[in-house]
Amino acid sequence: MIIDVHCHFGSWPFAMDNFGVDRIKEYLDRFNVTKAIFSSSKAIVYDFREGNRELIELLEKDDRLYGYLVLNPNYLEESIEEVNRYLDNEKIVGIKLHPAYSRVSIDDEKTKKIIEHFLDTKLIYLIHTWGIPMAIQLTKIARQFPNVRFIMGHTGGDVWYDCLDIVKPYPNIYVEPCSSYADRDKLRISIDTVGIERVLFGTDFTLINPSFVTGMVECSGLTEEEKARIYYKNSIKLLEGGKNA
Amino acid sequence: MKIVDANTSFGFYPYRKADTSLETLKTILKSYQARGFTLSLKGIFYDAIEGNEETLTLIEREDGLYPIATYDPRAYPKDIEYIENLKAKGFLAIAFFPRLQGWMIDFAPFRDVVDILSNENLPIIIHTSGYGELTKISSIAREVKNPFIIVGSNYSNLSEVISVIKKLENIYIESHLLNSPDALEYLKRYASLDRIIFGSGAPLLSFETALNIILKSTLSEDEKENILSKNLEVMLGVKL
């Protein structure tokens, strides 16, 4: 069983196919993915509401597909409306924020207002986190909202090693390893730094080949129990504490 | 299926604590019954010639390892005579690391070094990334016969890979960062798989990941075998 907490739906401006639902299903089969949580690439890089609408349509097409609503804190009122619009949808488990594309820092007041507004919903936040400054920003909101669970997308990217130490004291920050660089020891060090219960499986599919992270899990010298915790047990626990528990 | 990894290294890794020892590299390759091109990290981070000598001294072909030289054009013309007879010294190729060392492909000393290397047609491996870098390399490759193996191409510049390998037969692409889900299928459709060379970046990076990119693709068994070893052997004109 595998639960992938970091997937995307939609086009990318690169030499690659635009994966429709059939190709997505074929990939989930090939990598034994039982549940996958998607966000819309269109919502991230362009119009969040148009992208979210398309994502909702996708989620209806396969039982394995779940979703994050992408919000753009530059549009604060519209972002709050967007969550209210889809909050009752059982396939929506959280919110995706991409500070590099929206150009709104993770600890910006607008972002905090969104989190504050939906404190009672148990929504999970997947936040693109690349570089030490973003990791520090993430710790600020994790400290301010200790009952909100945050997934640190990419574990800080190419400075993941330092970022693990930065987020270590915050039990409500989970780390997710996907990146173009499949460091052989990334998962072992992640487990040893923040604890096995805070390490999740995410791939960045459809942008990145799932082989990148499955290979990292399989080559890290992990026990079968550790692999199971990363592949699905930790995600199940996280989702059980979520809005659709 | 025979596996030859065109991108491994060993030694001390200074940017973070990591086990990049020769013993670890040997263990990884042995566990996959793979062979590998390799070089000492000392040659990249400290001194090329001292690193090259360490590569020749420490590795043995019995372990399935083949020596790769390196040279840092920032030091040009220091020790330049060393790279004039690399084949005779036992090296199968020479690797350059512009991104790690902070120089550009159109750096004039690098061009001088390529001219020297063109005398014995030694394969040139270049670790680089970023838009336009491969395009600049293609301008150099057009003027010499040496094969160029490019390491570092990924989803963001796959368009550049396709454009360049369609035009130049001496450009090869190393595979470990071909990270979009359909990168190999895309290359097959729009260019060719004949010049895709398997590499992993081990032991710093995951050999398993690099291998799975090939094995879990939808390519035929023959196409996978070509990428994993045969394309490199054809390029070199030798069985490894």
Tokens of A102: 């929206």
Q: Where are the beta strands (DSSP E) in A101-207?
A: 124-130, 150-156, 173-176
The closest alpha carbon to A54, from A79, A20, A78, A23, belongs to A20
Contact A207 B18 (CB under 8 A): no
Per-residue pLDDT tens over the stretch B115-165: 999 999 999 999 998 999 999 999 999 999 999 999 999 999 999 999 999
The closest alpha carbon to B153, from B181, B171, B174, belongs to B174
| CA–CA separation, A38 and A19 (whole Å) | 12
Q: Is B40 helix (H, G, I), strand (E, B) or coil?
A: strand
The domain of B156 spans: 3-236
Cβ-Cβ contacts under 8 Å, B206 against chain A:
182-184, 215-216, 219
The alpha carbon of residue B216 and the mean position of all alpha carbons in its chain are separated, in whole angstroms, by: 22
Per-residue pLDDT tens over the stretch A113-143: 999 999 999 999 999 999 999 999 999 999 9
Cβ-Cβ contacts under 8 Å, A185 against chain B:
18-19
Q: Which helix (H) or strand (E) holds A184?
A: none
Give the total number of structural domains in chain B: 1
Q: Is residue A46 part of a domain?
A: yes
A44, A64, A70 from A129: Cα distances, Å: 14, 26, 15
Beta-carbon count within 10 A of B121 CB: 13
| CA–CA separation, A93 and A68 (whole Å) | 6
Nearest by CB to residue B181, choosing from A15, A161, A206, is A206
Domain of residue A12, CATH code: 3.20.20.140
Instruction: Establish if B13 touches chain A: CB-CB under 8 angstroms.
Output: no
- Is the Cβ–Cβ distance between B155 and A205 less than 8 Å? no
Does position B205 have pLDDT exceeding 90, yes or no?
A: yes
Does position B193 have pLDDT exceeding 90, yes or no?
A: yes
Contact A16 B205 (CB under 8 A): no
Beta-carbon count within 10 A of A222 CB: 19
Per-residue pLDDT, A243:
66
**Alpha-helical segments (H) within A88-232:** 99-102, 109-117, 132-144, 160-167, 186-194, 211-218, 224-228
| Cis geometry, peptide bond prior to residue B77 (ω within 30 degrees of 0) | yes
| CA–CA separation, A218 and A213 (whole Å) | 9
Determine the distance in angstroms separating the CA of A107 from the nearest CA of chain B, rounded to an integer. Answer: 28
Per-residue pLDDT, B218:
95
Per-residue pLDDT tens over the stretch B88-105: 999 999 999 999 999 999
| CA–CA separation, A56 and A69 (whole Å) | 9
Instruction: Establish if A212 touches chain B: CB-CB under 8 angstroms.
Output: yes
Which neighbouring-strand residues pair with A193? none
The pTM (predicted TM-score) of the whole model is 0.93
The closest alpha carbon to B173, from B7, B2, B34, belongs to B7
Instruction: Establish if A22 touches chain B: CB-CB under 8 angstroms.
Output: no
Residue labelled with tokens 């750096």: B107
Per-residue pLDDT, A244:
60
| CA–CA separation, B156 and B161 (whole Å) | 10
The domain of A84 spans: 3-240
Determine the average pLDDT of the residues in B163-170: 96
| Cis geometry, peptide bond prior to residue B203 (ω within 30 degrees of 0) | yes
Q: Is B240 helix (H, G, I), strand (E, B) or coil?
A: coil
- Residues with pLDDT less than 50, chain A: none
| CA–CA separation, A185 and A38 (whole Å) | 26
Q: Is residue A245 part of a domain?
A: no
Smallest CA–CA distance from A28 into chain B, residue: B181
pLDDT classification of B60: cutoffs 50, 70, 90: confident
Give the total number of structural domains in chain A: 1
Smallest CA–CA distance from B154 into chain A, residue: A180
Domain of residue B96, CATH code: 3.20.20.140
Nearest by CB to residue B181, choosing from A27, A161, A182, is A27
pLDDT classification of B201: cutoffs 50, 70, 90: very high
Per-residue pLDDT, B92:
96
| CA–CA separation, B230 and B238 (whole Å) | 10
